Amino acid sequence: MSVDVVCADPAFVDLTFAGLDALPAPGEERHAADLLRTPGGAATVAVGAARLGLTAALASPLGDDPEGRFVRDALAAEGVQVTPRTAARQAVTAVLPIDGERAMVTFDPENEAAREDVERFAPRAAVVSVPRAGIVPDGARLYATIGDADARAYAGEPLPHEVEQARALIVNAREARLLTGFDDPERAALALAERVPRAVVTLGPGGAVTAAGTELERVAGFAVGDPVDTTGAGDLFTAAYVCSDLSGGTPEECLRWACLAAGLSVRVPTAVAGAQSKEQLAAAGIQHGLAVPGWLTHEEEDTGCSE
């Protein structure tokens, strides 16, 4: 059975220490108000897409251990399919949100998806980081992302052929700066658009900018309250952007709904808790004066999203 979108980067268990008043210094102990365990990493994108009406799958193998089984069960509860292939251990990240930002410590056994893991889902679209673009089958729309280390590695260098043909390269302002050397996000987006068909640069609460060729569009962020935990905001931006784009949204519409989804997500601890349902996102859009598109209503026959 074909799915709308497959996520092919590693998933994590996020252990979020919520309610810290400060980060501990070496030798110091601090106490959190709560400890929350949720799926993270690529699982955040998959959950975000599923809650917005797409059929979603995770292609990277999950650990054959208690943490891996936790992620598998959590994704099943969200309707997200997973590959049957397993790994020995599950990746885990400790997340320490503080003052609208967060610190993280990660154990990563590098559970990598293979091309056959992606192909088994016959996806319409795939979300995958730049170095893994080669595992996406022909015919699937590729939405590529990148992290700091890979952004430095590809600075001024050709991107993989698959990324050069991607539907969009979605990066944050820091990653765009590392890739291009430009501090100004609009200049960075235009420089990236010389390497990919469409570049999207996220600006946190400042919104986002997109470039295709020499055409540039920018949208502002949304005032939705003080941030509590920014973990996964970029992942949920990507999930909403993909759903809007698959449903035929204009570049501006894709940016606006993705910015709103990301902005709403940071008001609560953990990435998954911040993932909006279609109804929640539509209601928030109405409050902010946006015209609600068909993919956020029950009129799905022409949206391109799941039925």
Q: Where along the chain do its domains lie?
A: 5-23+34-292
Going by pLDDT thresholds of 50, 70 and 90, the confidence category of residue 302 is very low
Q: Judge whether residue 301 has pLDDT over 70.
A: no
**The two structure tokens encoding residue 36:** 């929350």
Mean of pLDDT values over 270-292? 96
> What does the pLDDT read at residue 22?
93
| Mean pLDDT to the nearest integer, 34-45 | 97
The one-letter amino acid at 298: H
The average confidence (pLDDT) of the chain is 94
pLDDT value of residue 156? 84
The count of other CB atoms within 10 Å of the CB of residue 249 is 22
Q: Which CATH number is 5-23+34-292 given?
A: 3.40.1190.20
The SS3 of residue 233 is helix
What is the 3-class SS of 67-87, one letter each residue? HHHHHHHHHHHCCCEECCCEE
**Digit-coded pLDDT (tens) for 206-258:** 999 999 999 999 999 998 988 999 999 999 999 999 999 999 999 999 999 99
pTM of the model: 0.94
**Pairing verdict, β 199-202 and 208-212:** antiparallel
Mean pLDDT, range 114-139, rounded to an integer: 97
Mean pLDDT confidence for 258-281:
96
Distance CA 293, CA 282 (A): 8
Q: Is the pLDDT of residue 300 over 60?
A: no
Question: The tokens of 232 are what?
Answer: 């996964």
DSSP type of residue 222: -
The pair of structure tokens assigned to 129 is 């980081």
**Spatial contact of 226 and 9, defined as CB atoms under 8 Å apart:** no
The amino acid at 252: E
Tokens (6 digits) for 271: 């990435």
pLDDT tens column, 72-125: 999 999 999 999 999 999 999 999 998 878 899 999 999 999 999 999 999 999
